[in-house]
Structure 1
Amino acid sequence: MDGPRIELAWIPLGAGGSPVVRFSGRAYEALLARRDHRERCALVHAALLLTHDAGTTVVEVTPVWGQPPGDRGVVAEGPVGARVLGRSRWFRYEVRCWRGGTVPDLAWAVERRTVASGEAPVRALLAAAPAVPRHVWGRDALRCGDMWNSNSVVAWLLAAAGVEPAPLAPPPGRRAPGWAAGVAAASPARPAPGDRVTGP
């Protein structure tokens, strides 16, 4: 499809990266599946690709540390684990709208589809990005039973662009922790904030 658009990509957790991330993700999912008495799912994370008149902008959430030097289009940062830990760059995440940027593990995406077309939703998402909630990564800030993470940010941004995120769940057999938290954060009737830990 040509023209301005927003694409959502679902990428396996740890694809093309550290085996530690893959192992910890599998261990976390195994524990939750056992607790919830369900089958294990493959974990995925979301990334957005925005095509517009100025080119392509990648929207992604990553740790602050270990990133390439130079302008990455960072629009917000938040703490990881606990707010006090966020004083250190080792415990902060960044939200970036990187014009001309890349998603390193995009080649491993299990699904990539256009979720909105036209210049209006693209502009709305980019305008809303600096106002994304900066909840603590790994905590159930909204008391909705789901932790805040990169998937939460993507879901919230889609809602800000006028795209309903709830139906855009990952493919069957895969799970995106944090997606429900982003949906809850975008809801006008969202629960009161909190800081309950629900993830590693």
Structure 2
Amino acid sequence: MASSAPAWVDLYWLPLGAGGHVVRRNGRAYEWWVSRREHRAPLDLYHCALMVRADDVTYAVEMGPVWNVAAEDRGVVCEGPVGARWLGRFRLFRYEVRCWAGGVVPDLAEAVESPVRTTDDPERVAAVLRMLPQVPTLTWGRDEIGAGEMWNSNSMVAWVLARTGHDMGTIIPPTHGRLPGWSAGLVLARRQAGDASAGHAEPLA
């Protein structure tokens, strides 16, 4: 018998560098450089995280450095390198994807135009939780798949949502905002969906 407990996936837009002045300044400098290259006005940069509710448990889902959350039982489902593959042998240069039961997302209170309810279909919610351990562990900050954007936390969230059948056209960034890396997740999800329909799968890492 199916559970009658509420199930949902909520998406949160977090200002890049929320809670940290150095990251925020570097992000603004990066966006200024990109906007100059693309001949447009600078936009506000965001990264995203998910809160997932299933079977009376709320999970905090995000990508972050392996060293920035002290809790041992934080629901790590996979890890990947930062900057370069070879750097991943050092803890300082590794990220992790967390699906943390009863956990928290740092700086969630600073989220903008959030939460965005992406689904309340229990089957799709369950699919999101099943998909998380399969997140491709590509190198953070690099474009290893020729997507035109680097892989990061936005890529991870976009990939998971796209791979679980969400209507990605309805998910848009906050007003005057940009999501670096988001399209990389969509590109990879589309490629893998195409490969699956053709009878072969693209390596995830």
What TM-score do you get using the length of structure 1 for normalisation?
0.90
**For this pair of structures, how many residues does the alignment match?**
190
- Structure 2 residue matching 1:29: 3-state secondary structure: helix
Shift of 1:21: 0.5
CA distance in 2, matches of 1:154, 1:189: 19
Letter in 2 for 1:135: L
CA distance in 2, matches of 1:21, 1:137: 15
Do residues 183 (structure 1) and 169 (structure 2) align? no
Letter in 1 for 2:52: L
User: C-alpha offsets along residues 27-69 of structure 1, whole Å, 9 cap, x if unaligned?
Assistant: 0000000001011000001110111113101110000113213
User: C-alpha offsets along residues 116-162 of structure 1, whole Å, 9 cap, x if unaligned?
Assistant: 11211111011111111111111112212111000000011112222
CA distance in 1, matches of 2:172, 2:149: 14
Which residue of structure 2 aligns with residue 10 of structure 1?
A: 13
- Structure 1 residue matching 2:22: 3-state secondary structure: helix
CA distance in 2, matches of 1:138, 1:165: 23
Which residue of structure 1 aligns with residue 72 of structure 2?
A: 70
Q: Which has the larger radius of gyration?
A: 2
Contact kept, 8 Å, 1:62 with 1:95, in 2: the verdict is yes
- Structure 2 residue matching 1:162: 3-state secondary structure: coil
**Which 5+ residue runs of structure 1 have no aligned equivalent?**
194-200
Do residues 157 (structure 1) and 160 (structure 2) align? yes
Which residue of structure 1 aligns with residue 198 of structure 2?
A: none
Letter in 2 for 1:145: G
CA distance in 1, matches of 2:34, 2:43: 10
List structure 1 segments (4+ residues) > 3 angstroms apart after TM superposition: none
Letter in 2 for 1:87: R
Higher helix share: 2
Sequence identity percentage: 51
